[in-house]
Structure 1
Amino acid sequence: MPEVTSHAPGWPSWVDLHSPDTQRSKEFYTGLFGWDTYTMTVPDFGDREMFTLGGIQGPEVAGMHPLADDTQPPSWMCYFRSDDIQATMETVKGAGGRELAPPTDLANLGHMALCSDPEGADFALWTSYNLAGAGVVDEPSAMCWVELACRDTEQARRFYNEVFGWKSIDVEHSGSDYTKFLLGEDRPLAGMVRMNERWPRDVPPHWIPYFQVADCDDAAGRAADLGARILYGPADIPAGRYAVMTDPIGARLAVMTPDPAEIPPRA
């Protein structure tokens, strides 16, 4: 399990869960992925749970904190690395996005900001101090992909290409078009699916994380036993086998057993 010590600018580097019931969430994710947890008190931000892999002293793979209020939906937040958050935020606003929380230090962990794209999908920017981001990726029980679901894919394509310098290509995915975002010519780092008429109208555009598992069918079955609702799959795609679900508190995520040839290299 080689540890990751840095993430390249523009790459997804961290995910954290906004939960209305952190104890229930902790039970689900430790049961599903075998994670351990510890509580970190961050001045001005309260307590945050840190999920680790390979024991309590193992590398951090994700975070969790309580929802600010009951009007917010439970969700996973995807963080993207930026070397200059203020400059990136100006690009976000210039491209039609919004600043939700201004750039600020999260104690000695890193510098962060929250924003949303023109259609309202929330995401975060991250510059590391003592927390580089996920300490393990592309391994079982660790993040291996992030995906945007939105209705206006052309607008999203223009926005994220401008903000992060990504490029995009379309591929077939489950019988419909799917967009892969790339950094450089051949390094896919995120995906995008169009929310068509089969999606409920009350589901807003959103980013979700994919977590790698050794056996997708087994993981999906275990997730259901732990209280998750399986929304799609398990199903085969060229990149591997995956399933999309909502966890017991309603946050959306996916699990995937990837084709090893499809795992993008990180730099």
Structure 2
Amino acid sequence: MLTTRYAPGAPNWIDLTVRDLDAAAAFYGAVFGWEFLGGGPEVGGYGMFRIDGKTVAGMGPLMREGANPAWTIYFHTPDAEATAKAVEQAGGSVDMPPMDVMTLGRMAVFTDPTGAQFAVWQPGENRGLDVVDAPNTLFWTELYTTDAEAARGFYRTVFDWNLREAPVPGGGTYLLVAPSGGGEETTQGGIMQLRPENLEGETTSNWHPYFAVEDCDAVVARATERGATVLIPAVDMEGVGRFAMFMDPFDATFAVLTPATPPTTPGTT
């Protein structure tokens, strides 16, 4: 499970970059009940999604030429420079070198050898998200990759993750991810090999956030009514829960999950 007691290699921040902040704030407010608090010109309009005054995600405008709207997952690092070196040595690329975000912390953005983009956050005054593993907050992170073996070696080198194999219905292997030294109770996400039909369709490698919801089908209805496209219809997975995946109206992908075991309430993680 995710926790705000952030360990190195654990997800500690997520954010959305889009062309229209107001439209995205309205969409996610309707789907999850989030309130968006926009920042000023000094932060380029970057702001925070919140529930009950607690930050659950960030959002900002697209800043780079040719960039597409997307959710980005950040993993905790105690040393962004060291992580950048590890990424390059393991065959990844540095898209945005480590930089200070005022006194809040340091960030860097990378692409793994299979083409999936991710980021790291080295906490300063901002240690990370205020709440996770609760309704309408980050609950799981997942990599769909063109090469699971390459991804396994890369992330193990960069973050020293604990990776465990789990069978997939219909065949295949799913890698469960936990921080270094973490047991099953610290599992934070998974790595999934894209199926041949996905590869033939030129699906690319991507990290996706999963948000816990109390009623997956109700969220599917709200999201689609407001312009989202269903990529994976709501489906039950034994022992996991009921999940669905979308592309929002701005072309960013995310998923929702009603867990088989209900998540905790905000403020208890």
Confirm or deny a common fold (TM above 0.5): yes
Question: 2 CA distance for matches of 1:233 and 1:169?
Answer: 27
1:108 to partner: Cα distance: 2.0
- Aligned partner of 1:75 in structure 2 is 70
Partner residue of 1:133? 128
The gaps in structure 2 that reach 5 residues or longer are none
Q: Match for residue 170 of structure 2?
A: 175
Are the counterparts in 1 of residues 144 and 207 from structure 2 also a CA contact under 8 Å? yes
Which digits, 9 at most, give the CA deviation of each residue in 1:127-153, with x for residues without a partner?
112222111100011000111011100
**Separation in structure 1 between the aligned mates of residue 254 and residue 262 of structure 2, nearest angstrom:** 23
In the TM superposition, 1:188-227 aligns within 5 A as 188-199=187-198, 201-227=201-227
Alignment-derived partner of residue 245 in structure 1: 246
Q: Is the 8 A contact 1:110 1:128 kept in 2?
A: yes
Q: How does 1:3-152 map to 2 (within 5 A)?
A: 6-41=5-40, 43=42, 45-54=43-52, 58-69=53-64, 71-152=66-147
- Per-residue deviation at 1:5? 5.6
Alpha-carbon distance, 1:201 to partner: 3.3
Is the Cα contact below 8 Å between 2:39 and 2:46 reproduced in 1? yes
CA distance in 2, matches of 1:154, 1:163: 14
* Range with bigger deviation, 166-175 or 84-93: 166-175
Q: Give 5+ residue unaligned stretches, structure 1.
A: none
What's the C-alpha RMSD, in Å, of the aligned pairs? 2.0
Alpha carbons of 1:241 and 1:165: their partners in 2 closer, same or farther (altered >3 Å)?
A: same
1:42·1:107 contact (CA, 8 Å) conserved in 2? Answer: no
Q: Give TM-score, length-normalised by structure 2.
A: 0.90
Distance 1:140 1:70, change over 3 A: same
